[in-house]
Amino acid sequence: MPDALSHLIENNRRWVQSITDRDPEFFRKLERQQRPGYMWIGCCDSRVPANEIIGLLPGEVFVHRNVGNVVLTNDLNCMSAVQYAVEVLGIRHIIVCGHYNCGAVNASMEEMAHGLIDYWIWPVKLIQRRHPWLAKLPPARQRDVLCELNVIEQSSNLAECKVLKRAWSEGQEVDIHGWIYDVKDGRLRDALVTLDRDGDARAAIADAEVAIRTRAQTP
């Protein structure tokens, strides 16, 4: 094994020891079945590790990550994960979490070509075009607000997918929560939006966008 990787194996052994010191049966129980109460849809940025920032152990959160925490109903990877979470694991809460200083969001605001990633972040670029008032904000503020609007958009896309619509029509309780994480201080900002089976998702999305715009334009 390359020396550059050997410390990772050692880290793993220390991590296992720290877990089993607290609960000798932890991995035996985990092997039998996973019963997470949460699904996390987040960005694959290395600074935003799902389990660590919400303080959960393996088996407690079902995680799907991609560049820019994008939710597309034609993305088989994401939709398969959502279906498994909702229909097999019976997940009660799905957290769509973006983060400030997101490379995908920043790239979507640039005019230069980035290659293959441009196809993936095109939906994020469209969000910016739908909100021309962003252009009146200082550049750094534009980026932060677009990160927030991206969370709202992806939460809306999730609410419109067949899996969630079917679950809600059958009375299953599963809520969508739009959160954002600040890499500067390690803190989550929650309650950008919450969508559930009993609420008007479109109205909630519209209200959330108005709230973001109001905050952004308030001196």
Structure tokens at 126: 């469209």
- Give the tens place of pLDDT for each residue, 36-76: 999 999 999 999 999 999 999 999 999 999 999 999 999 99
Q: What is the pLDDT of residues 157-174, one digit of tens each?
A: 999 999 999 999 999 999
Q: What is the pTM of this model?
A: 0.94
114 part of the active site: no
Question: pLDDT grade, residue 189 (50/70/90)?
Answer: confident
Pick the CATH number of 36-217 from 3.10.180.10, 2.30.30.100, 3.60.40.10, 3.40.1050.10: 3.40.1050.10
Catalytic option among 78, 102, 147, 161 = 102
- Is-catalytic flag, 47? yes
Question: Across the chain, what does the average pLDDT equal?
Answer: 95
Per-residue confidence band for 191, with pLDDT thresholds at 50, 70 and 90: low
Q: What percent of the chain has pLDDT over 70?
A: 99
Residue from 43, 78, 147, 161 carrying the catalytic annotation: 43
Domain assignments of the chain as residue spans, ordered by start = 1-32, 36-217
Q: How far lies 147's CA from each of 23, 109, 110, 152, 216, in Å?
A: 39, 11, 14, 9, 12
Residue from 64, 97, 99, 147 carrying the catalytic annotation: 99
pLDDT-derived band of residue 130, with 50, 70 and 90 as boundaries? very high
Catalytic-residue membership of 189: no
35, 47, 130, 215: the active-site residue: 47
Q: DSSP of 166-205, one letter per residue?
A: HHHHTT---EEEEEEEETTTTEEEEEEEEE-TTS-HHHHH
Q: What is the pLDDT of residues 134-154, one digit of tens each?
A: 999 999 999 999 999 999 999
